[in-house]
Amino acid sequence: MATRWTVADVPDQSGRTVVVTGASSGLGLETARVLAARGATVVLACRDTGTAGRAAAQIRGGVGQAAAQIRGGAGRAAGQKRAEAGQASVRVVRLDLASLASVREAAEEIRAACPRVDLLINNAGVMAVPYHRTEDGFEQTLATNHLGPFALTGLLLGRLLDTPGSRVVTVSSIGHRMGTGAMRFDDLQSERGYQPWPAYYQSKLANLLFTYELQARLAASGAGTIALAAHPGNARTDLWRHTPRPTRTLYRPAWRALTFWFAQSAPAGALATLRAATDPGARGGEYYGPPGRLQYTGHPVRVESSAQSHDMAAARRLWQVSEQLTGVSYRILARSG
């Protein structure tokens, strides 16, 4: 394995089925593109099916070239050969993570279409959005970034557990270290004064608490499925669209000659997710992202998350609250003690 982990290190994914949420643009699209190029059957689970359909066509159209660029040697599996021939298997499923009804419908469609799920990549999210209550009565950031992925994972758990070597990868953020530093269980829905950035930081902390608790439950049950997390550093994606104009300007590709030290491209940002999802050496409960003190840019390595993200009492409490709010129970992975 190379010291600098790149797409060339992604193993062949022939015969594997991958679900990527929010895969119509940005990190999700780049993740799906690489996995399709390596031979995986990829499900793009997205809110806007029109945009997702165009993304699927883009993946199919460019996957031959992408596969040729990242293939490793002459001994290619059938799935990758099909990818190189432009025959990637890509389908679109409508998924609005802010709607529990949509999450249930998407999970049902995925279960019906996919006898196996090897990878579930919880990538979709929102950042710094204005205050909004979802149809279920939840604050939008919490609903989209945590409650929706929690419910989707639980509803697809049977397929994951039945698939040897399956993984759940949830995309968090370096922002989980910011804000209050701990989950605000007394105000999860931001009813006492909403602030966009603290709400985002809370949701990203929730992603890690969820990942570590899920891994603990999987390990305790003897499951072959593992849970990991990743973060992209500071990636130039459309996620910044709700931030002030000066911030959006800094993250434009045109400024990369000046901002290269704290911002990287979407393909570079997606590497951490790809490593967590496919590195044969990765283990359950690990967290991947760019190296260094700031973890803004660079090839992905195993990194450490905040002490608050490892508060297992908070993780168990968040799990219980999430089951109550979503109505999705992970009974097969019940906690003992």
Can you tell me the distance from the alpha carbon of 249 to that of 104, in angstroms, rounded to the nearest whole number?
A: 38
Can you tell me the distance from the alpha carbon of 244 to that of 48, in angstroms, rounded to the nearest whole number?
A: 24
Q: What would the two tokens of residue 38 be? A: 């390596």
Tally of CA atoms within 13 A in the half-sphere of 203 that contains its CB: 30
Residues 194, 200, 212, 330: which is the catalytic one?
200
200 catalytic? Reply is yes
Report the phi/psi class of residue 39: left, alpha or beta, with left for phi > 0 and alpha for psi in -120 to 50.
Answer: left
Can you tell me the distance from the alpha carbon of 17 to that of 9, in angstroms, rounded to the nearest whole number?
A: 19
Question: By C-alpha distance, which of 28, 34, 139, 151 is closest to 92?
Answer: 28
Catalytic residues: 200
